[in-house]
Amino acid sequence: MGFSPLWWDVLVPLWFVIVALVWVMYVLTDGFDLGVGILIPFMGEDDVSRRIALNAVGPIWDGNEVWFITAGGAAYAAFPEIYAAIFGGLYLALMVVLFALIFRAVGFEFRSKRPSRAWRSFWDWAISISSAVVALVLGVALGNILVGLPFVKTALFDPTSLKGFIYGIYDPETGEVTTFPAIIGFLQLLNPFFPNLAAGIFKLLVGVTALLFVIVHGAAWLMVKTLGEHFERSRGFVLKLWLPMAVLWVITTLWAIASIGFKHTFQTNDPEIIQRTIQVDFYNWPAVMDKVFTYADNLFFQAPAIVSILGWVLVGLGVIGLLGIYFFAKKGSAWGTFLSSSLAIIGILFAVAAALFPFTVPSIYGLEHSMTVWNTAASENTLKVMTLAAVIAVPIVLAYTAYIYKVFLFKLSPEQIEEAARKGQFNY
């Protein structure tokens, strides 16, 4: 089977980058929304302090969540096999995230509808817990992707099957696949013993690290939006959480780099991308069940030079951002802290994307069962149309988003909140 060089070498990698970019935009924007949501009950016992946090994201939180929809839509259109496999095998995990987002949205809208202290406290905690659930589940999902998920490529054992990938337990000797019940599939994501203890601990650490990043990012945004004691309280959150966040990030990063994984080869022109671009450092998965396998480790040492350099640069940006968070928070610079937090997120997430390429959803059962950009991509014509649409739409969306942020980029004070509440000007 022949492939168009435009599709193979340009459009497919381009859309991998675009989808990664949209996910980064989601984490950058809704990430601080989630962080602020988590911190609402801790901003103070009084209603005004909590309303300051609510209104710090009030005008923009729902717009930021559009990036989540956009990321899912872009992934579905560009890599439809991923969408089908994920929804088929992990729909309960996605439903948990979806219902947490819905419950959070209801909390934002209902919280200030009644003056009852108990009513408002309930919704404050509802927003906080649902925000934490979203951040933690998505973080653990990223950790699972790094160690691989139990997906099986059906064509390898059943050429007549119309399903691309199945989520379940695979026996390579018999070729049988036992699918997970929905609840078991979800719990496997959180299971510290699956696929082995070391890998299970690793993926959970990634989830906790992501949660801390989101909280610090949210606290940095509160520094931008608040004054006086609320500014100092937000700054205190950043300084208190910075060390555990940085330590966990260093641990998970070094763990991934030091683990067994794959290396890029680019030695043949085999039409099968698995044979053409990468080889695994082991073949028999059970032989290394006592170790951590990650799809991110050999980016820096065994990848082609340009990819390796890019990986180190991106990780370097993440380190600079991490150090900048503490430095600027110590100085009391709100914008310095927030921009450093944003830089850390950009560097780290793009480094993960570069490390995974060409994988999209790796499999614990080996390279032949893993989803890559090539074996899950849409047709060339589809990607051409999408590229044209993106060239037109993305600049408009970015310009509109920048304008909205500019309009609502003002500090919030207790006096302003109290006055606006009396006049009914704030909804939150």
pLDDT for the residue numbered 218: 96
- Give the DSSP letter of residue 181: P
Q: Nearest CA to 256 among 213, 288, 299?
A: 299
Q: Is 118 within 8 Å of 194 (Cβ atoms)?
A: no
First to last CA, the chain: 58
Q: Is 259 within 8 Å of 297 (Cβ atoms)?
A: yes
Check the CA dihedral 382-388-389-391 and report its sign: positive
Query: What is the CB neighbour count within 10 angstroms for residue 186?
Result: 20
Q: Is 356 within 8 Å of 145 (Cβ atoms)?
A: yes
pLDDT for the residue numbered 305: 62
pLDDT for the residue numbered 346: 96
- Which residues are within 8 A (CB) of 346 and not within 5 positions of it... i.e. 6 or more apart? 24, 28, 317, 318, 321
pLDDT for the residue numbered 187: 81
Query: For residue 360, what is the enclosing H or E element?
Result: strand 359-361
E strands, 134-248, are 151-153, 165-171, 176-179
Joined together, the tokens standing for residue 28 give 């950058």
Plot region of 379 (φ>0 → left; ψ -120 to 50 → alpha; else → beta) = beta
pTM: 0.87
pLDDT for the residue numbered 280: 45
Task: Tell me the average confidence (pLDDT) per consecutive run of 10 residues in the chain, 428 residues long.
Answer: 61 90 94 95 89 88 88 88 78 88 91 87 94 95 86 66 70 73 78 81 93 97 93 95 96 78 49 44 35 48 62 89 96 96 95 82 78 83 90 88 86 77 65
What is the three-class DSSP state of 190?
helix
Residues in a beta bridge with 170? 177
